[in-house]
Amino acid sequence: MILFPAIDLKEGQCVRLIEGRMDSATVYSHDPGSTARAWQEQGAEFIHVVDLDGAFAGQPRNRRSIAQIVQSVTVPVQVGGGIRDLATIEDLLGLGVNRVILGSAAILRPKLVAEAVEKYGQRILVGIDAKDGLVAIQGWGETVEKTALELALEVKEWGITTIVFTDIRRDGKLIGPNLAATGELAKASGLQVIASGGVSSLDDIRALKELEDSGVVGAIMGKALYSGAVRLPEALAIARGEG
């Protein structure tokens, strides 16, 4: 199982939100590149980046910081947030981003997802964010009448093999991931699922590790790392089956 330290970008700074609310931002670093490098030095094998401003604006807003992150590490970087057209995908991949995550586009521009997968294959992921079981889009500002599983099965038809699943109610709260929903989504969809939202302890990592056979292949960690509740090297040992 891969653990992804998260770098959430707001106005060029590394921040954390609660339930995706921009007014809840806590700034952790003014230098996203050095933050990414620090996670790599602690053993991270992959970095997860979200352009928060982009998610709300519908187009990327932190390109310079994303480029800085990519240039600061040798491990792969995946990026999501406000990516709504092929030109933006091409630009990010051209910067050296390894994988691009499409979120609201899966609802608003499904043809883009299919096109991107056809062109870039497994370098394209879909992020499915759910609030009370329904898919949330536009920076989590609105929900649509579609469940996470319904959307997962749709994107699977378009060629997507891996999704990032976030339970918004748990994001940034350190109350543990929604293990039941995450495991059920992986089993029912047959997709590889990266869990996101609420990871708060080493026990949470152990519990997610037990879902690996169901298709849970990774977990994104944010506030637990930044607050010091979890040390990345210890979490990585568990993810590798050593703890």
Q: How does pLDDT run across 74-130, given as a tens digit for each residue?
A: 999 999 999 999 999 999 999 999 999 999 999 999 999 999 999 999 999 999 999
Tell me what pLDDT residue 138 has. Answer: 75
Give me the amino acid identity at 63.
Answer: R
Specify the 3-state DSSP secondary structure of 173.
Answer: coil
- 2-239: CATH superfamily: Aldolase class I (3.20.20.70)
Alpha carbon separation from 159 to 72, 86, 90, 126, 196 (Å, rounded): 31, 16, 18, 11, 22
- The sign of the torsion formed by the CA atoms of 220, 224, 229, 231 equals positive
Range of lowest pLDDT (14-23, 43-52, 151-160):
14-23
Q: What's the CA angle centered on 114, arms 108 and 115, to 5 degrees?
A: 105
Mean pLDDT of 17-36: 84
Q: What is the mean pLDDT of residues 179-187?
A: 95
Using alpha carbons, select from 233, 167, 169 the residue that is nearest to residue 196.
Answer: 167
Residue 117's alpha-carbon distances to 51, 82, 89, 139, 158, in angstroms, are 21, 17, 11, 23, 7
129 is catalytic: yes
What residues does each domain of the chain span? 2-239
Task: Select from 215, 214, 219 the least CA-distant residue to 240.
Answer: 219
Whether 46 has a pLDDT exceeding 90, the answer reads: yes
Catalytic residue among 51, 129, 167, 204: 129
pLDDT score at 87 = 96
The CB density around residue 38, as the number of other CB atoms within 10 Å, is 16
Q: Which helix (H) or strand (E) holds 10?
A: strand 2-10
Q: Are 133 and 148 in contact (CB under 8 A)?
A: yes
Mean pLDDT (the chain) is 93
The letter for the amino acid at 233 is: P
Tell me the per-residue pLDDT of 146-174, one tens digit each, with 9 for 90 and over: 999 999 999 999 999 999 999 887 666 56
